[in-house]
Chains A and B, each alone.
Chain A
């Protein structure tokens, strides 16, 4: 009802929306408010462990900090391209909306790939949790000692960053579906199959890649139930989700990476 009042300006005929926004946008804001509490709890848990664990390890060398800084720049740039996508959608410029959303997805994918490489490097150097050790067979080194002495560090680090990486992955799929609809489904399928076949079975991403399969199934169901052409409102709502993912990283980056920098 409120959407109709907003779009057609039929004041008096329909009840005015309480928040002055269409319902999809209010729904997304409410979801983001609840999701911020999920990340808030994880960040508080990380900080809690950090306070009571003395000494807290500081294992991130300059290579890790440089990598995380580039990842941050990717996310910030993706937010800019997302805003441009919303502008294009409001101009009803379908072509440029797709281009900007594609640019956003490329930045997001770059973030995931860089993060995956960082994870693999840390795991190879011995930073693990028990489940990873059953896959990789364990290793020795400076970070292996950290994992044994302070298991809270790898547990909170991997838990927090895995949750964020999952959100970025969902965001890329979400934008792909909004931009390309059913044509994006085969792309997810090919990426999942390629990842599953090419990533060795002793790498954690051999199993993590199944997030794409779940995304493929959920996206297929949504597109089958409601095969619509997504409009400017849908692009704006997708943008809200994407900016939120960026926002969360603005807290993870300093608290997890910069506060655990190893100064040589």
Chain B
């Protein structure tokens, strides 16, 4: 079991993570509503912010940061690998459909 005292993590640290997540969410909302970037750039920026937020949740709230390296890497590499495979299946085809004008 993850033992908080064994890793020196304190409750204050989790409040900082929570505050950071709220601030990042506020930045996302402002970016989305002000439409500062054009749509493709906007998706990229929002996804980068989402990945940072998910890393904070997985690392701190889910305590993956404190697990053994084999568990950390196995989970992260396997899930990321699956998403990369999905990416190469989905998006080239969506782009092809768009260029061909097929609905």
A residues lining the B interface (CB < 8 Å): 6, 18-22, 25-26, 29, 33, 36-37, 40-41, 44-45, 47-49, 51-54, 62, 65, 69, 72-73, 76-77, 79-80, 82-84, 86-87, 90, 232-233, 236, 239-240, 243-244, 246-247, 250-251, 253-255, 257-259, 261, 263
Contact = CB atoms under 8 A, between A and B. Distances in A.
Contact of B50 (A86, A244, A254): A254
Contacts of A261: 32-33, 35
Given A76-B18, A232-B1, A258 B46 contact: yes
Contacts of A236: 1-2, 63
Q: Which label, helix, strand, loop or mixed, suits the secondary structure of the B interface? A: helix
Contact of A19 (B46, B63, B68, B94): B68
B83 to A, nearest CB: 6
Contacts of A54: 98
Contact of A259 (B11, B46, B57, B103): B46
**Secondary structure dominating the interface of A:** helix
Interface of B: 1-4, 11, 14-15, 18, 21-22, 25, 28-29, 31-33, 35, 39, 42-43, 46-47, 49-50, 53-54, 57-58, 61-63, 67-68, 70-71, 74-75, 78-79, 82-83, 86-87, 90-91, 93-95, 97-98, 102-103
B67 A19 contact: yes
A47 B18 contact: no
